[in-house]
Chains A and B, each alone.
Chain A
Amino acid sequence: MSPLMTVERATKHYKTQTGSVHALENLNLEIEKGEFICILGPSGCGKSTLLWAMSGLHELTSGQVVLNGTPVTSPRPEIGMIFQEANLLPWRNLEQNILFPFEIKKIDPAPAQPRIKRLLEEVGLAGFENKFPRELSGGMQQRASIVRCLSYDPEVILMDEPFGALDAFTRDEMNLLIQRLWMETGKTIIFVTHNVSEAIFLADRVVVLTPRPGRLAHIFPVDLPRPRTIEMTFEPDFIRSVIEIKRTIETGVYTPQAAD
């Protein structure tokens, strides 16, 4: 079976006011249906650039992203994007924010209403439909944006450092929530983060990029059993993986550790 999504020889240069930035270099990646992939790397390594190219919002300088057999050249209905911070529209209440994709896509939200209601209950936002974003905490806002994304049932979900602005406790909570939603829905998730334990906690495979220009440093499979718990992140095995991945990020190459 061919993979759901592939990134082929992705290269990206872009111009800024101070010159040209070489963000990605010849990156290849294959993603299976239903996989949870975390893309991890130091800041400025091009991991967000890669994700935005996968979403069809940005173009690659060369190479391509293929989803379901066709190249992604513009945003596609099978793809849902979750942004850094919640990116809710402050002039709309929660319900209007969640229905925003339906409005843009001009589809009737009525058939999706039971599903939205269930999702709101699941993330603990039932009863908050009439609240405006400014009345919600950062975690609640990001949960609302997850419901907004899942509301129209995309096949692939791209998440761009979604919990970077949250405190550690809220972040743990959100990671558990995402794991649960992923296990229930069987979506394919590609999740960009610079937090090593978050990546290991969530991912089936952790894709580590090198500093700019972003190249593939190594792909670490994570075979911890699911559902994973926060306690597991304190176990020696988990910590060993964290150290191994951190070392890879620092050096840009993967060197297998001899057991010490």
Chain B
Amino acid sequence: MASELRDTIPTFGESGEGGDEVDLTNWSALTSSNLASSWRDIGLIALVAVIVIGLAEFAVKAFNIKPYILPAPSAIGRTLVTRFPDLFWPHMKITLMELGIGFVIGAAIGLVLAAVVTQFPLVEKIITPYILLLVTTPMIALVPLLILRFGFNSIPRIIAVALAVGPMVMINSSTGFRRTDLAKIALAKSYGASTLQIFTKIRFPLALPMIIVGLMVGAIFGMLTAVGAEMVGGKNGLGNQLMYWSSMVKMENFYAIILLLALMGVSIYIFFYWFGKKYASWQA
């Protein structure tokens, strides 16, 4: 019924299909790609994956590729499954913990700053260059400095993650909070809404799609930063293990970790995609 209505009835004031804006701060291109939608699609996707992996397996064997360049996919898969509990999980736990804590701190600060700063255009203009600086500087570059101050533990990495997440969340959320729909604010005011009510009932929901995009991009950047920071220094975490196993030329372990990281990244994406569908689906 719903889709029927949408097909036959023109909508007002909305861009049609494929009218998503794509620009540097928007990132809506990330959210607009479709995940698998029907069983037939899922079957097809699985089939292609099987063919690709099968071809890789075949190529490794047929061309006699050395295991230290590319181990067979089956060997990587076996290593991942059998060694996950003892070899990989303890390090993955640490990476996840760093990412989780850093993300929560960074996202909270970024979100609050965005909500406050967009209320004061002058303040926003003054601090935007610094935020841009933080967004564009790789936070991994700060890790050696942080290690000097905090030592070879998780704290420098958590700080680096927070520094990577915060500005990313802030810059996207600000775009959302700047979307002031005066007619909707007037509507709330006509019922006597307070400033707080206008924020919670109008401005925040209006900004939510962009906030979710910010959280998604922030989480992915946070993961890159966590792994990168572990590669720079420290005794544990998946990034550290990547360095370790490649120096030992144990490439099954190395590729298994790469696979784990890819899975983490995709999970982050899928989680926020689902979150966006659930809470911001009004914005097609």
List the interface of chain B (C-beta within 8 A of A): 2, 5-6, 9-14, 183-184, 186-193, 197, 201-202, 205-206, 208, 280, 282-284
For the complex, give the distance between the alpha carbons of A165 and B10 in Å: 12
CB distance from B143 to the nearest CB of A (A): 40
A134, B187: Cβ atoms closer than 8 Å: no
Residues of B within 8 A of A135 (CB): 2, 5-6
B190 in complex: contacting residue of A79, A90, A131, CB < 8 Å: A79
A232 within 8 A of B: no
Bound complex: CA A136 to CA B284 (Å)? 15
**Shortest beta-carbon contacts, A-B, top 7:** A104-B191, A91-B282, A137-B9, A90-B282, A81-B190, A101-B191, A91-B205
Residues of A within 8 A of B188 (CB): 100, 104
Residue of B nearest to A84 (CB): B183
Question: Which of A80, A101, A103, A134 meets B11, CB within 8 Å?
Answer: A134
Q: How far is the CB of A133 from chain B (nearest CB, A)?
A: 8
B190 contact set on A, CB distance < 8 A: 55, 57, 75, 79-81
A85 at the interface (CB under 8 A from B): yes
Asked if B192 contacts A89 (CB within 8 A), the reply is no
Contact A104 B11 (CB under 8 A): no
A136 touches B183 (CB 8 A): no
Q: A79-115: which have CB < 8 Å to B?
A: 79-81, 83-85, 87, 89-91, 100-101, 103-105
Interface string of A125-139 (1 = CB under 8 A from B): 000000111111110
Is A44 an interface position by the 8 A CB rule? no
Instruction: Chain A residues near B6: list those with CB within 8 A.
Output: 134-135
Contact pick for B201, options A52, A90, A103, A136, CB 8 Å: A103
Contact B5–A136 (Cβ < 8 Å): yes
Min CB gap A207→B, angstroms: 22
Instruction: Verify A83–B186 contact, CB threshold 8 A.
Output: yes
Closest to B186 in A: A57
In the complex formed, the residue of A with least CB distance to B208 is: A91
A221 interfacial by beta-carbon distance below 8 Å = no
10 A-B interface contacts by CB (under 8 A): A52-B186, A57-B190, A80-B190, A83-B183, A90-B282, A91-B282, A100-B188, A100-B201, A104-B192, A134-B282
B187 touches A132 (CB 8 A): no
* B11 contacts across to A, CB distance below 8 A: 134, 138
Q: Are B192 and A77 in contact (CB under 8 A)?
A: yes
Output the least CB separation between B180 and chain A (Å).
14
Residues of A in contact (CB 8 Å), total 30
Give the distance in Å from the alpha carbon of A101 to the alpha carbon of B192 in the complex.
Answer: 9
Q: Tell whether, in the assembled complex, residue B193 and residue A87 are in contact, meaning their CB atoms are under 8 Å apart.
A: no
Cα(A136)–Cα(B8), bound, Å: 10
Nearest chain A CB to B42's CB is how many angstroms away? 27
Chain A's nearest CB lies how many Å from the CB of B238?
38
Known: A57-B190, A104-B188. A85 touches B283 (CB 8 A): no
Minimum Cβ distance to chain A for residue B216 (Å) = 18
Inter-chain contact B284/A104, CB cutoff 8 Å: no
For B208, the chain A residues whose CB sits under 8 A away are: 91
A105 touching B280, Cβ below 8 Å: no
Interface residues of A in 183-231 (CB under 8 A from B): none
A87 touching B205 by the CB < 8 A rule?
no
Residues of A within 8 A of B2 (CB): 131, 135
CA distance A144 to B6 in the complex (A): 17
A103 to B190 alpha-carbon distance, docked (Å): 13
State how many angstroms separate the Cβ of A145 from the closest Cβ of chain B. 9
Cα of A100 to Cα of B190 in the assembled complex, Å: 11
B residues near A104, Cβ cutoff 8 Å: 188, 191-193, 197, 201
> Min CB distance, A190 to chain B, in Å?
14
Contact between A134 and B14 (Cβ–Cβ < 8 Å)?
Answer: yes
